[in-house]
Structure 1
Amino acid sequence: MVTITARKNMSQDDVFELYTSGDTELYTDYDQLYSSILNSDYCISVIDDDQLIGLIRSSGDGNYNQYIAEIVMHAGYPTHGIGSKLLDAYLTAAADVRKIYILSHEHYRTSFSRTWLQYKGFKLIAENDNIILYLLDREIKY
């Protein structure tokens, strides 16, 4: 059964399995990555039975700006709609945050990713050979 949670109760082994499920290794220091996840302002994860299959995390000031560090999906779960559910849960949890940025190196350059993020309300605001930056700017009345 697939569940989405804001609890940061995943183990370091769960994190390692998720982040190494694809073709490329995203990190080399998994102790530091695990600490970063636990210290993120927002962390939403997707669990299938007891397996961590997705994670989104961000940090920022909690009110005006949040920076999504990454949206990671287990390589064994493509095209299941889990990424959309994960991002929707994150956007609900961060409902009081006005500006949400996604800064990425390569993962959001594909036409699918661009279309998906635009559908979710993000706008591409900057791109060069090294980075790509998206922004969701919401009108929030404080």
Structure 2
Amino acid sequence: MELTYKNSKTIDSEQLKNLYNDVGWTAYTKDIELLQQALLQSLEVVSAWDDHNLVGLIRIVGDGLTIIYIQDILVLNEYQNKGIASQLIQDVMSRYESVRQKVLLTEEAPDVRHFYEKQGFQSCDKGDLVSFAKLN
């Protein structure tokens, strides 16, 4: 499988809808125009493509100098466990290597925790940090 990685904030709405719905993130697809606008206002969006099919995406927000926040990272179910998410994260981490704070918020699950720890992230329930979120 030969994938292409693109750095672009403009992605077809049907491709986005398919990816987000496939991984169960339907809250994003209730207003696909809002999602597309969110991508446009992000610091960076890197996507993975199998031919003309969107199979993965990472979306970064922040200032790119002192903090980046990984807002979204998702891969189509049939493409998971093939190193795509790792490649997307490694690409972003190398590009923002000098940024001190690299943050993400995700749901708790053993495989999710293992994946992010393998990528060098430390859970805020371990160590000296605390994390707070207010979701509507």
Query: TM range, normalised to the smaller chain?
Result: 0.7 to 0.9
Out of 102, 105, 112, the position equivalent to 1:103 is: 105
Shift of 1:33: 0.6
What is the CA-CA distance between 1:126 and the residue it aligns to?
A: 4.4
Kept in 1: contact 2:71–2:104 (CA 8 A): yes
Q: Which runs of 5+ in 2 are unaligned?
A: 132-136
Q: What SS does the aligned partner of 1:115 have?
A: helix
Q: Secondary structure at the match of 1:123?
A: coil
Secondary structure of residue in 2 paired with 1:66 = strand
Query: Could you tell me the TM-score, scaled by structure 1's length?
Result: 0.79
Q: What per-residue deviation string (whole Å, max 9, x for no partner) do you get for residues 66-98 of structure 1?
A: 111111111221211111111111212222322
Aligned letter for 2:111? F
Partner of 2:134: none
Corresponding residue of 2:92? 90
Q: Kindly report which structure 2 residues correspond to 1:4-19, keeping only aligned pairs within 5 A, or say none.
A: 4-19=5-20
Higher strand share: 1
Q: Deviation per CA, 1:6-60: give whole Å up to 9, x if none.
A: 1234212211111112345242111101110121102111011001111111111
Kindly provide the amino acid, as one letter, of the partner of residue 110 in structure 2.
Answer: S
What is the one-letter code of the residue matched to 2:89?
L
Question: Aligned partners of 2:25, 2:63: CA distance in 1, in Å?
Answer: 31
Quick check: which one's helix share is greater?
2
Uncovered stretches (5+) of structure 1, i.e. residues with no partner: 134-142
Q: TM-score, normalised by structure 2?
A: 0.82
